[in-house]
Chains A and B, each alone.
Chain A
Amino acid sequence: MHYRFIKLKLFSLLVTQALFSNELYEKSLDELFAVETELKANIGSRSGSRDFLYSNVPIKVITNKQIKNSGLKRLTKVLQYFVAGFNSQTPAINDGSDHVSVGTLRGLNPDQVLVLVNGKRLHSSALVHLYGTIGKGSSGVDLNIIPVIMIEHIEILSDGAAAQYGSDAIAGVINIILKANGHQNSVSSKIGTNLDGGGNTIQGDIFYYTALDYDGYVNIAASIQDRQRTNHEREGENTPLGQPKSQNFTLALNILSPQENDINIYGDALFNYRDSINNAFYRDANSNRNNVEIYPNGFLPKINAKIYDTSLTLGINGEITNNTSWDLSQKIGYNSFHYYVRDSLNNSMGLNSPTSFDSGGLSFLQATTNLDMRHKFSSFNIAGGLEFRYENFAIKAGDEASYKNGGYSNNAGAQGFPGFQPKNVVDSYRHNIAAYLQIDKKINDFSFKLATRFENYSDFGATNDYKLSLSYRVKDSLLLRASGSTGFHAPSLSQSQFSTTGISGTQNNLSKTDTLRTSDPLAISLGAKELKAEESLHFTSGFVYQIQNNLSLSADYFYTKIDDRIMITRNIPYGEKSIARFFTNAVNTKTQGIDVAIKYETKLKNNANLNINASYSYSKTKILSFNDTTGISDSMKEINRIENTQPKDYIKLYFNYELDPVNVALNISRYGEFSDVYNSQLQTFSPQWSTDLDVSYKISNQTRLAIGGTNIFDTYPEKNRSNDRLAYSQYSPFGYNGAYYYVRASYEF
């Protein structure tokens, strides 16, 4: 019976292949040039790219064409548009967090997502999110340092992958592949505004390709954006709520230079400069934060962030034999975040106070050296490597007026953002070494991947992680898959070394707030312990069913348990009118959910191409237990931040209709409910729909014009009920800026 089954299967496969290929053979060469092959992805495997749909683990790929058709120019927006379960919010009045867009997957933290560029780890921002945002207590990668025009495609691995890539690959891995060989030169511009509340933007982009010998290339892209602030202040309130006013310049380079003897020299570089300004809360005229002789009507302090970000990768790879290859690379990434405060004062300095301050800054440097080897023999692929990483985190003090107590009052420091003090200054570093190995094996319709990674950090010690993934191809159209792995998030230097002193509280009930290093004697006396790594356990299981050659369905269940998640403690009172807080391994959580994706593409009778992607993501995080003794377990706000501030579920419906010379891209998103706590009152916000539309027209082979909008039906989240100062919750997953409309043009040459 078994023999007959195999015979039958072989027969059907042969017939299938013949039918398929014959259909292609009937096409002319010109028509074959228009055929799109399967999407391939490198992520999640070190043995070369393969059809992403039939991977052992869930992978999503966003193509260059999809990005182009969406009309989007910021990477966080692109991910939010295409990926159900990706969350990026619009913080405001949250100090530095207003100026750096981070993203999360599956309702976890920004530092639990690993971001790669061309398969190499990208450094995170130096900024530590300290206040009411999803990433409170973490530093994430600033995704908007990459010009979208430079992106070839984006691979998103929705699975734990620390055994392959190291720290942070807990909720998933985002791999951004920069444009390589053969792309068309182009320039584009986009001008838009919000229907209400301002927010005018203008952006220009350029991509230029130069061919080198033997299919090498030099690709360069630049993008410049000017974005005005938006304002959605609550009626009768003087504090505007909105996105910052910013100027953003990004530059990117991607190079491949093949040499003789099968050697390739490659590299990429990113540079970003951002000047971004947003307000803090309004200081009323009669507030003890104000000096009426300087601001008779009160004042609105502004925090001006100047951010430099750069990274450089240089590598060389080659082949020793037809089956053995090697790769040696060095990547250096640096981020500097500097605070300036405008239209403010230092109340303790009386009339001697300046109104502008240099409040100091943060910087983070990461240098990673990798040596990878890959060997194929028989049906085995073996890949292994070594990694050395050096990290440096520094805090630079602000000018004296930004933090000093001038004696006029106890309300010391620049209003808006008191400067870093000399006692906060730090220049700390650490290094880690890692060794990793991955074995891939195919036995008939079974595929196995086994990965392990050992890592030793100079500050907190060693970890060892494992991953086993397997798939079984029941038939050509049906794949079953499952994986199990362990993972970790190393406490970042910004978590272990950050400290600052600020002022918190309401207008006339203010306290000095110290955010302390865990090694600070005061923190130790209040219960601080040395930070250890967050450790995770993952399980994923699902299937891919290719219902027709143009229709596929995938569904995956996932389970992630994380121990010792790092958070900032509650405010702990000490001394007189002083409170302290510090980082701690506070809670153990579990997150589980499902991801479902349906993909359909067809050619309509009028010869138009129609692509439809529908996806659904559900995730629920629950705190299992508390490790911390500082009272987080009593904090409704902190518990809610972990469990409920991100939507439980997402629906994405994407349609692209293409009939030369017209292209229409329509994206409908449903963001599930989330909740926020203010003044100890919990408010749950209902699910909301948001619709994006881009209609473009090709007026010549080179030129395309488009009009479009995001959130075109002008949807807003429900208004805050308990927060009497801010109209909208900053946890709203689609912001609070309402409809945004634009025109754009592109020219290829």
Chain B
Amino acid sequence: MQIIKFIFIISFILSNLYGASSEDELKAVVIGKVSHFIKWKKEDTSKEFIITVFQNHAFDSHLDILYKDKKIHNKPVKINYVENIQEIEFTHILYVTKHSQKDQEAIIKHTQKNSIVTISENKGFAQRGGVIQLYFVSQKIRLKINNEVTDTPNFKISSRLLSIAKIVKGND
């Protein structure tokens, strides 16, 4: 009976394994990957690397599952979810979801003031003052980086990351 149960579980896992990689999965991975190319300058006493998601309608559980056992800058990763600007606390990365379009201007002001690295897929995000924008061309992910905020008092984006991203003028 136990063997049957085991086979059933394995087959169930394997059958689920064969799903197409989605944009959300890829975005979740890229958020962590680009974090490796950003250096936080100020003394960082936090024990965890914090990624905050503003209005989590996008990722379901991708981020939690992916970063459960990962480390970024030698720190375990903690995922926070907030619904409004007042809830944003100290964070290394703030991911602004597509469903936050109307709050975007206020978020950018807040994060610029607090020198937070922001990432979003929203159209025109980098040019409007966000730090990193994800976008897709022919099913492939691409990056745009705002050239006004690559080297701030709080963080610096590596030249390696800048070399593979499209640099846009922003902060208007």
Interface residues, chain A, CB within 8 Å of chain B?
A: 8-9, 11-22, 24-25, 27, 29-30, 32-40, 51, 53, 63-65, 152, 181-183, 213-216, 258, 262, 264, 319, 321-323, 475-478, 546-549, 551-552
Q: Which residues of A contact B19 (CB under 8 A)?
A: 16, 20, 476-477, 546, 549
Question: Do A24 and B29 form a contact, CB below 8 Å, given A33-B140, A37-B141, A549-B19?
Answer: yes
Q: Whole-angstrom distance from the CB of B9 to the nearest CB of chain A? A: 7
A478: chain B residues at CB < 8 Å are 15
Alpha-carbon distance A181/B28, docked complex (angstroms):
22
Question: B70: CB under 8 A from chain A?
Answer: yes
B164 CB-CB contact with A under 8 Å: yes
Contact A546 B21 (CB under 8 A): no
Query: 21 pairs across A/B with beta carbons < 8 Å?
Result: A13-B16, A14-B65, A15-B16, A16-B19, A17-B66, A21-B62, A25-B66, A29-B33, A29-B37, A29-B161, A30-B164, A33-B140, A33-B141, A37-B21, A37-B140, A262-B101, A322-B103, A546-B20, A547-B18, A549-B17, A549-B18
Distance from B102 Cβ to chain A, minimum over Cβ atoms (Å): 5
Which of B17, B32, B127, B142 makes the CB contact (< 8 A) with A16?
B17
Cross-chain contact B142 with A33 (CB below 8 angstroms): yes
| Residues of B58-74 contacting chain A, CB below 8 A | 61-62, 65-66, 68, 70
- Give, as a whole number of angstroms, the nearest-CB distance from A438 to chain B: 20
Q: Are B13 and A12 in contact (CB under 8 A)?
A: yes
Residues in A with CB closer than 8 Å to B124 are 213-216, 258
- Interface residue? B128 (CB, 8 A): yes
**Which chain A residue has the least Cβ–Cβ distance from B11?**
A12
Specify which chain B residues have a CB less than 8 angstroms from the CB of A11 in the assembled complex: 9
A603 to nearest B CB, angstroms? 14
User: Which applies to chain B's interface (DSSP): helix, strand, loop or mixed?
Assistant: helix
Alpha-carbon gap, A22 to B21, bound state (A): 11
A residues near B111, Cβ cutoff 8 Å: none
A317 to B37, CA, bound (A): 36
Complex interface: chain B residues within 8 A of A22 (CB): 66
Q: Which of B74-100 contact A (CB under 8 A)?
A: 99-100
Verify A35–B123 contact, CB threshold 8 A. no
Q: Does B148 contact A (CB under 8 A)?
A: no
Tell me the minimal C-beta distance from A730 to chain B in angstroms.
37
Residues in B neighbouring A12, C-beta threshold 8 A:
9, 12-13, 16
CA distance A20 to B55 in the complex (A): 24
B99 smallest CB distance to A (angstroms): 5
B34 within 8 A of A: yes
Residue among A8, A37, A152, A475 facing the most chain B CB atoms (10 A cut-off): A37
Complex Cα distance A456/B18, Å?
47
B7 within 8 A of A: no
Q: Does B46 contact A (CB under 8 A)?
A: no
Q: How far, in whole Å, are A226 and B15 apart by their CA atoms in the complex? A: 52
| Least CB separation from A24: chain B residue | B29
Task: Quote the shortest CB–CB distance from B146 to chain A (angstroms).
Answer: 12
Query: Is B139 interfacial (CB 8 A cutoff)?
Result: yes
CA distance A215 to B20 in the complex (A): 27
Most buried by A among B17, B20, B102: B20
Q: Within 8 Å CB of A63, what residues of B?
A: 138-139
Which residues of chain B from 17 to 63 have a CB within 8 Å of any chain A CB?
17-23, 25-26, 28-30, 32-34, 37, 55, 61-62
CA of A53 to CA of B29, assembled, Å: 23
Q: Is the CB of A477 within 8 A of B15?
A: yes
Give the chain B neighbours of A65 by CB distance below 8 A. 138
Asked if B18 and A548 make an inter-chain contact with CB atoms under 8 angstroms apart, the answer reads: yes
| Complex interface: chain A residues within 8 A of B28 (CB) | 21
User: Shortest Cβ distance from A97 into chain B, in angstroms?
Assistant: 36
Q: In the complex where A32-B30, A319-B102, A546-B20 touch, is A476 in contact with B15 (Cβ < 8 A)? A: yes
Residues of A within 8 A of B164 (CB): 29-30, 33
Residue ID in chain A nearest B66 by CB atoms: A21
Cα–Cα distance between A12 and B68 once the two chains are bound (Å): 16
Q: How far is the CB of A467 from chain B (nearest CB, A)?
A: 26
Q: Which residues of A contact B140 (CB under 8 A)?
A: 33-37
B155 touches A (CB below 8 Å) = no
Q: Which residue of A lies closest to B29 (CB)?
A: A24
Q: Name the one of B12, B22, B30, B100 contacting A51, with C-beta atoms under 8 angstroms.
A: B22
With both chains docked as a complex, state the minimum distance between the C-beta of B81 and any C-beta of chain A, in angstroms: 15
Q: Is B137 an interface residue (CB 8 A)?
A: yes
Q: Which residue of B lies closest to A182 (CB)?
A: B137
Provided the pairs A12-B12, A214-B127 are in contact, do residues A51 and B20 lie with their beta carbons within 8 angstroms? Answer: yes
Contact of A17 among B18, B62, B127 (CB under 8 A): B62
Bound Cα distance A138, B45 (Å): 74
Query: What residues of A have a CB within 8 angstroms of the CB of B20 in the complex?
Result: 37-38, 51, 53, 546, 549, 552
8 more A-B contacts (CB under 8 A) besides A38-B21, A183-B138, A546-B19?
Answer: A18-B66, A19-B17, A35-B141, A37-B140, A182-B135, A215-B123, A322-B100, A476-B15
